[in-house]
Amino acid sequence: VDGAAHRLTVIGTGYLGATHAVCMAALGYQVLGVDVDANKIERLAAGEVPFFEPGLPELLAKALDSGRLRFTTSLAEAADFGDVHFLCVGTPQRAGSYAADLRHVEAALITLARGLHRRALVVGKSTVPVGTAARLTDLMHAVSPAGDAVELAWNPEFLREGFAVDDTMRPDRLVFGVSSRWAERRLREVFAPVVDQGCPVLVTDPQTAELVKVAANGFLATKISYINAMAEVCEASGADVHDLATALGLDERIGSRFLRPGLGFGGGCLPKDIRAFMHRAEELGVGRAVAFLGEVDGINQRSRERMVDLVRDLAGGDLRGVRVAALGAAFKPNSDDIRDAPALDVASALHRAGARVWVFDPVAMANARRAYPALEYGDSAFDVATGADVVVLLTEWSQFREIDPAALRTVVARPRIADGRHALDPARWQAAGWEYRALGRP
Ligand code: UGA
């Protein structure tokens, strides 16, 4: 194997790209990470991961020490550096629309392609609307000096925040969306260390690969909204969604994962992905096929509103002047990501309704303060709970699950807790004298 085969570039060093670059270096490749954001590149090059992800800082430090990982802002340098280029730039929701914003992907690809003078494989990892790879291939061929010798494949990424390193090193499956045997061979070579550990590989065309990603996220979102819809039915009928979910989950065909009721899904992926999927399906003339995702989104939004209603109820019908302790800000535990975070959405709605909301999160405080300056912030769960009329669990960090209800009771004004994540044991809290409430439970 010649030297170039061991050199990879990773374009876009956000959540996905930074993790991918570090993991590829850990697997033994020479990796060049590229981003337009000079500040991000400087921080990464100095060994600082710009977001919270367990295990990643240690792995970044090792990769930098080994000399196998470097960072640059120059796509021209990247084009020259290696022959396999991973495209990991973000595809956020376009302002004022459901569509995905592909400007960053297009800009990165065009600039890279202009510098490609020899045969190369560009591998898209970003989540994109089905059909994007075909369109980008034409763009790329038109601007690259190497013309058709440059190929575009799609290899969707399924990593979860909080488990990013593990999901990258030991994924459930690898999907290679390729247009040639050569591209398949190159991808098999690159991912050999992962495949050799027994990871299944599915080889398909690029459009199917693009679709696998959005279809998977659509399914996961649907599963969560399904159980939250059942929570609404449980409330109306006096049934208990917690027991319902446990019983459903024991059916192996259904499975218990992603069936936890509560505040619903947030983050930078599921909400925008189902919206972009609906938008793309409309364009393709099959909007009706995924129209149910509009309901999935609606149920999800409603869970947040119902949570506000539950807290109001617990507070005696009026939120004005009520002191609320909000435990959690991140969209889920083990993350400092507050994009579309149900926790902060609920906290700010409580604030707008007149409550005094004190927030604590183990790692997302800086992000929360920046985005929600009107809320108040404390130093610990006990700190924000001091004098509280209602405690609300919004993100199920393990340190919150482990709180001793008897100890917390001694600092609050009134022992009332709303469990937005079905993460606490009601019997334990009730035994300690708390009024416990959760969505979908009597
Ligand atoms: C999600 C997918 O799980 C990944 O497979 C995918 O690669 C990623 O999006 C992406 O597209 O990049 P992530 O956004 O990190 O990963 O978070 P999840 O662990 O999927 O959680 C999403 C949301 O659903 C969180 O707000 C979580 O609290 C909520 N959730 C999850 C529930 O409300 N109930 C559940 O049972 C499970």
Residues facing 435 on adjacent strands: 416
Contact of 374 with 351, CB cutoff 8 Å: yes
3 state SS for 231-274: HHHHHHHCCCHHHHHHHHHCCCCCCCCCCCCCCCCCCCCHHHHH
How does pLDDT run across 331-349, given as a tens digit for each residue?
A: 999 999 999 999 999 999 9
pLDDT at residue 10, as a whole number: 98
Residue 4 has pLDDT above 70, yes or no: no
As for the ipTM of the complex, it is: 0.96
Please give all residues whose beta carbon lies within 6 A of any atom in ligand 1, as ranges.
Answer: 127, 157-161, 217, 220, 224, 258-260, 262, 264-267, 269-270, 273, 331-332
Q: Is 269 noted as a catalytic residue in this protein?
A: yes
What predicted TM-score, i.e. pTM, was given to this entire model? 0.96
**Mean pLDDT calculated for residue range 10-21:** 97
- Which residue's CA is the nearest one to ligand 1's atom 6? 158
- Which residue's CA is the nearest one to ligand 1's atom 22? 265
Task: Report the nearest atom of ligand 1 relative to the CA of 396.
Answer: 28
Tell me, what DSSP letter sits at residue 341? -
- Residue to substitute in 158, 160, 396 for testing ligand 1 pocket (most ligand atoms within 8 angstroms of CB): 160
d(CA 279, CA 290): 10
Q: How far does CA 44 lie from the centroid of its chain?
A: 20
How does pLDDT run across 248-265, given as a tens digit for each residue?
A: 999 999 999 999 999 999
pLDDT at residue 3, as a whole number: 56
Backbone angles phi, psi at 258, to 5 degrees: 65, 30
**Mean pLDDT calculated for residue range 156-180:** 97
- Which residue's CA is the nearest one to ligand 1's atom 3? 160
Task: Report the nearest atom of ligand 1 relative to the CA of 341.
Answer: 26
**Mean pLDDT calculated for residue range 91-109:** 95
Calculate the average pLDDT of the chain.
Answer: 97
Q: Is the sign of the CA dihedral 201, 255, 332, 345 positive or negative?
A: positive
